[in-house]
Structure 1
């Protein structure tokens, strides 16, 4: 694709990156076949190719309208198009640049501005989000359905592993996250218990917090980079002490941490450290997958034997991890089944289900229909947002796959 960037973006870091990405696109349209919003709406401008044209026009100086903003807003950033693209177009990075510039050019309606500001300030801030979630869980039965869908019932807590810290020479840092400890805290505990059983100690740096994904996707890039810097500062003493990996059990967070090196490439104080963090970042399945022999020796069959696996977009398209969760669960004697549309998004997509509820619920219901056809005893996934979103539409239990592993191998 030929490009002629306008003066406002030419010779900038964003301009150079956008130009390189745009020039890779050959207009083939393969991406439309795997774009969830194009499948729903049938509008070229609600598919990757159409959005690329809109961004190209914007970067070349054409007038930017509310319509451009709307079509970019409707994108889930699922990155399924990246998996499909034969030319290697990094659409996810392009759309983040595009959203930032369209928001500079077009002022949002007041209601949208308020909603996005609240989400950016409250959700990534555990000091605000945790008490709000506890209150929501207390009054959950009387909440309107739209709110009740976002508030999972309070979990019966699992105990953190009690093995003395000297028992395991291998140590990993676990990204505790901002939303997950309040919404579904047993995911982190189950992760620590499974790793403990496999001979790995889990360390959580209390000063670390949100990975930055929430603010990044809402267009608050500077605040997102501050989140990344805070985490790097919290993790760096442990990195210098020799931790084996920085582990995430929320695939959306893991995808973002793996991008720290890119996001902070222009920060002379943090670029090197950010690259090192990205090198150490691993999804929990990558760590457990390396310990398959130990895992198989611990397996105890406990009730659940047929599960449907929903692979989050941030796992299969963002991190390009496919087949590993299925292999781990199969190693434990579980029959793992995949839906026919396993490459398509469930509609959660961070704050998308709040900002674009109609599209999010339609995608959820389509996904649940295909999962129901598998007749599973349980649905498992790898991201807290997907788990909560899917559970809001089905009576079939939905859990993180590592919680199932914990049930299988831990006392």
Structure 2
């Protein structure tokens, strides 16, 4: 990432015009200047000029979702994404957090980036859900009293079924067009394995040999967006090693794709890795981005369903990918796409935000659920596992009977002519 020497120049780009305010989730919630991008930039300026990172200052930085909506809205080109990541790295280096908060953060980052640890959790969690113990625990409110973060983690867990294991190679169907590596992800791989299976099938049906390296690990997205730079760099180097010999890398999780496209900056100061990281960033593609570039070949069967499409922040704001998923959905006969009001406002997931700031995240999730429900759609389509869990949880709180699926699952249902009922049944 950028060094501290870049900070004064980046801070000076902000002219405090306020165009960011209507798109900032925390400013929309609370109307507090210091919980807006320009307010946080003012605090960053104070820190750059020598003010120590006080508790209240850090709290305003922690409340930021890092959704990048302000980057999209800014007419001056302020690189707030780089500013908040540098600032969070400063916070991790300089600010002593209270013991309980450190413990919660450490637990999160010792679990979620590690597939084997998540896999070990699957069995007990599945039994917990199947016996109905989850409903009893929620009624008692015991987890809320122990830790709001632990309660949020429990509520967000999707219903777990059997987890299909993917082979290391899925052969192209109907003639070879491309060879791609596929990132399976941590949360995506263990909590939404059906999304990965659908992704591999769609790519194969469109003529791609899909390579799924067995030894792949976390891409580092959660660590990067939380200011844990050394940890993120270690994950990035391992991912570069795993995928650098493939022609293209296809990613189906918005946060992961965004992080991998940033490897070039993350490892820019490392002579041994900068060139390799830049090469990997250049060939990383979101699934929808890749499929639109490749062009459709497989026949689409009709899918008579009305869907609402959700713009994941790290897809729309960080990667600038908005038209591609809509174009793919529009190419399915009899499928109707409805837009969600206020699409630029984050759903509240934001990596680990809904675990570390559960009250604010729940407010944003409820706002999003109201807007999704208002579309009258039967199915919500989202492109990030965090968004899927966050919005599904908020829809359940609202009592809305709307399933959530990934774009890959919708395409898979059409390409394999599974029909509407099968799609909705397999959605989360």
Q: Same fold (TM over 0.5)?
A: yes
Return the match for 2:281 from 278, 282, 290: 278
Cα distance, 1:186 vs structure 2: 0.7
Q: Deviations over 1:182-211 (max 9, x none)?
A: 101011110010011110111112222111
Residues 292 and 328 in structure 1, CA contact (< 8 A), matched pair in contact too: no
Residues 306 and 337 in structure 2, CA contact (< 8 A), matched pair in contact too: yes
Matched, 1:398 2:404: yes
Match of 1:302 in 2: 303
Match of 2:146 in 1: none
| SS in structure 1 of the partner of residue 297 of structure 2 | helix
Residues 45 and 51 in structure 1, CA contact (< 8 A), matched pair in contact too: yes
Match of 1:336 in 2: 337
| SS in structure 2 of the partner of residue 294 of structure 1 | coil
Match of 2:77 in 1: 88
Matched, 1:31 2:20: yes
Cα distance between partner residues in 2 of 1:175 and 1:293: 22
Matched, 1:112 2:118: no
Residues 19 and 74 in structure 2, CA contact (< 8 A), matched pair in contact too: yes
| SS in structure 2 of the partner of residue 88 of structure 1 | coil
| SS in structure 1 of the partner of residue 271 of structure 2 | coil
Cα distance, 1:409 vs structure 2: 0.7
Tell me the TM-score normalised to structure 1 length. 0.91
Cα distance, 1:127 vs structure 2: 1.3
Return the match for 1:65 from 54, 62, 70: 54
Match of 2:323 in 1: 323
Cα distance between partner residues in 1 of 2:307 and 2:262: 31
Residues 35 and 80 in structure 1, CA contact (< 8 A), matched pair in contact too: yes
Cα distance between partner residues in 2 of 1:256 and 1:389: 20
Q: Deviations over 1:107-160 (max 9, x none)?
A: 111111001111111110111112113321220231334344222112455685
Residues 292 and 331 in structure 1, CA contact (< 8 A), matched pair in contact too: no
Match of 2:111 in 1: 122
Cα distance, 1:169 vs structure 2: 5.2
- The answer to which of 308-317 and 15-24 deviates more is 15-24
Cα distance between partner residues in 2 of 1:292 and 1:335: 21
Matched, 1:142 2:133: yes
Matched, 1:248 2:248: no
Return the match for 1:217 from 209, 225, 249: 225
Cα distance, 1:104 vs structure 2: 3.0
Residues paired across the two proteins, number: 392
Matched, 1:268 2:276: no
| SS in structure 2 of the partner of residue 318 of structure 1 | coil
Q: Deviations over 1:2-41 (max 9, x none)?
A: xxxxxxxxxx952222122112111111111110000001
Output the aligned Cα RMSD.
1.9
Tell me the TM-score normalised to structure 2 length. 0.88
- The answer to which of 255-264 and 331-340 deviates more is 331-340
The verdict on how the C-alpha distance between 1:290 and 1:103 changes in structure 2, with shifts beyond 3 A counting, is closer
Match of 1:52 in 2: 41
Residues 155 and 185 in structure 1, CA contact (< 8 A), matched pair in contact too: no
Residues 157 and 185 in structure 1, CA contact (< 8 A), matched pair in contact too: yes
| SS in structure 1 of the partner of residue 285 of structure 2 | strand
Return the match for 1:259 from 247, 259, 262: 262
Unaligned runs of 5+ residues in structure 2 are 139-150, 396-400, 418-428
Residues 116 and 218 in structure 1, CA contact (< 8 A), matched pair in contact too: no
The verdict on how the C-alpha distance between 1:281 and 1:46 changes in structure 2, with shifts beyond 3 A counting, is same
Residues 303 and 332 in structure 2, CA contact (< 8 A), matched pair in contact too: no
Match of 2:237 in 1: 229
Cα distance, 1:374 vs structure 2: 0.5
Match of 1:75 in 2: 64
The verdict on how the C-alpha distance between 1:172 and 1:358 changes in structure 2, with shifts beyond 3 A counting, is same
Residues 137 and 151 in structure 1, CA contact (< 8 A), matched pair in contact too: no
Unaligned runs of 5+ residues in structure 1 are 1-11
